[in-house]
Amino acid sequence: MVTLSQIQTALGRVRQSIPISPCTRSETFSELSGHSIYLKLENRQRTGAYKERGALNKLLTLTPDERSHGVIAASAGNHAQAVAYHASNLGIRAKIVMPLATPLIKVSATRSYGGEVVLHGGNYDEAYEEAMRLSEQEHLTFVHPFNDDAVIAGQGTLGLELLEQCADLDAVIVPIGGGGLIGGVGCALKETNPGIQVIGVQPARLPSVKVALSEGKPVTLPPAVTIADGIAVRRVGERTLPLVQKYVDEIVTVEEEEIANAVLLLLEREKILAEGAGAAALAALVNRRIPLLSEKTARDKAGKKIVVVISGGNIDVTLLARIIERGLVKDGRLVRLRVHLPDYPGALHRLTGILAQHRANIVETAYDRAYHNVNLGDTAIDITMETRGPDHIAELISALGANGYMHERIL
């Protein structure tokens, strides 16, 4: 099992190449939670995520013979880019096996960092099997994303940074995939100060570590899709589970909508771009999913000092666009109404005049004369509008009713 000494040694190895990421206080989330909240911004790393720490530490432990043959990894995202980037900087050949469905932007980024990308398989498991086959065939060292002591120790350097950046730290909230990050961070923190609470967060759709803890052993979960793809791990590592059992105080899960909302909150309130996995820890905080943090003692009447790890920022822009749009709908700043009106010249002008009078901004319209139980001679129009919030929507609906329009809100 990884030790504090190994993590300290790893910090000495990687410090020259991996900068200390910012850990900044958030006034917004401090006020919202009643605690003193700090955000550890691993999305500011060169490849956009904390994965560089473990990848680089592993690469720096290779023997000359292993370096000469090169390395291989299986990944659809952050680990791929981290291995490719640091291997290239060290002059080590890096082959990365990625599933066929990997977004082009991630494939291109991995190649731009110097990785030889092999597209294979319909999912991570098939890419992993191909990577293992190529590893044996070409004598390449396999760099596992989490189930490797050198990788875990590298990720643990984040914990040592926190001890320097945040004096009197009470708790750290960490996203969990395979357990490498929280295992390393938990060891670094608890072996230095056992009083610090370490809390893990998983997507509710893939709670692999939570299940493993209840079963007392790693369990492979069925495949599931989550916007927190960076922590969408079906089975915890054999080397990470003992660390979680020893050092992690609590593990909670968050729903997809909560993760999406956390991405939007970070972007809008803090001007921080986070991927789904990167925002998972914040989602647990703002949705009050963590019972341990609701317990206040006489010492912390003003709240606890808590670090939330924003583990990465590599989000696909199309997914980000959907998250923003759905967030606007949820907040009542975007609404779609279906209005029935007579199908004659000037009818639309009268309708839009009412909407303009109440300061709604129309962004999209769609006519339909054949469906939605429209009477002959009438039409239905779906109008999407930007609004100021729920009260503004209620005002619009009231105005339409007062003017005799049949209408319904489309959710």
CATH code: domain of residue 341: 3.30.70.260
Tokens (6 digits) for 296: 């206040």
User: ∠331-332-333 over CA atoms, to 5°?
Assistant: 95
CA dihedral 243, 246, 248, 252 (to 10 degrees): 90
Residue keyed to tokens 């109404």: 337
d(CA 58, CA 55): 5
What is the pLDDT averaged over residues 89-115? Answer: 93
Q: Quick one: 181 and 114 in the same domain?
A: no
Q: Quick one: 19 and 95 in the same domain?
A: no
Domain that holds residue 72: 52-142
Q: Quick one: 340 and 398 in the same domain?
A: yes
Q: Quick one: 134 and 185 in the same domain?
A: no
pLDDT of residue 298: 45
Q: Are strands 334-342 and 406-410 parallel, antiparallel or unpaired?
A: antiparallel
Which amino acid, one-letter code, is at 282? L
pLDDT of residue 295: 61
Q: Quick one: 129 and 152 in the same domain?
A: no
359-398: pLDDT as tens digits: 999 999 988 776 666 677 688 899 999 999 999 999 999 9
What is the pLDDT averaged over residues 316-337? Answer: 91
Domain boundary (142, 173, 206) is at 142
Tokens (6 digits) for 129: 């099997």
Does the pLDDT value for residue 180 go beyond 50? yes
Helix, strand, coil share of the chain (percent; to 5): 45, 20, 35
Q: Quick one: 61 and 154 in the same domain?
A: no
pLDDT of residue 374: 67
The one catalytic residue among 21, 26, 208, 311: 311
Phi, psi of 313 (to 5 degrees): -130, 20
Q: Quick one: 59 and 135 in the same domain?
A: yes
Q: Quick one: 173 and 28 in the same domain?
A: yes
The one catalytic residue among 51, 58, 190, 210: 51
- Count up the domains in the chain and report the number: 3
Q: Are strands 378-386 and 406-410 parallel, antiparallel or unpaired?
A: unpaired
248-293: pLDDT as tens digits: 999 999 999 999 999 999 999 999 999 999 999 999 999 999 998 8
Identify the band that residue 132 occupies on the pLDDT scale cut at 50, 70 and 90.
very high
Q: Quick one: 270 and 395 in the same domain?
A: no
293-318: pLDDT as tens digits: 876 554 556 689 999 999 999 998 88
pLDDT of residue 410: 87
Residue 311 is a catalytic residue:
yes
213-258: pLDDT as tens digits: 999 999 999 999 999 999 999 999 999 999 999 999 999 999 999 9
How confident is the prediction for the chain on average, in pLDDT? 93
What is the pLDDT averaged over residues 115-137? Answer: 94
Domain boundary (142, 159, 174) is at 142
Does the pLDDT value for residue 352 go beyond 90? yes
Cβ-based neighbour number of residue 177 at 10 Å: 29
Residue whose C-alpha is closest to residue 97's, from 126, 69, 70: 126
Domain boundary (288, 305, 323) is at 323
Which amino acid, one-letter code, is at 201? V
Gyration radius of the chain over CA positions: 25
Which amino acid, one-letter code, is at 225? V
Q: Which residues pair with 336 in a beta bridge?
A: 384, 410
Q: Quick one: 285 and 303 in the same domain?
A: yes
CATH no. for residue 164?
3.40.50.1100
Q: What is the DSSP letter of 243?
A: H
User: ∠325-33-283 over CA atoms, to 5°?
Assistant: 40
d(CA 262, CA 199): 17
Q: Quick one: 266 and 359 in the same domain?
A: no
36-83: pLDDT as tens digits: 999 999 999 999 999 999 999 999 999 999 999 999 999 988 999 999
Tokens (6 digits) for 80: 């791929």
pLDDT of residue 40: 98
Tokens (6 digits) for 174: 């960490």
Q: Quick one: 291 and 152 in the same domain?
A: yes
Residue whose C-alpha is closest to residue 72's, from 110, 104, 16: 110
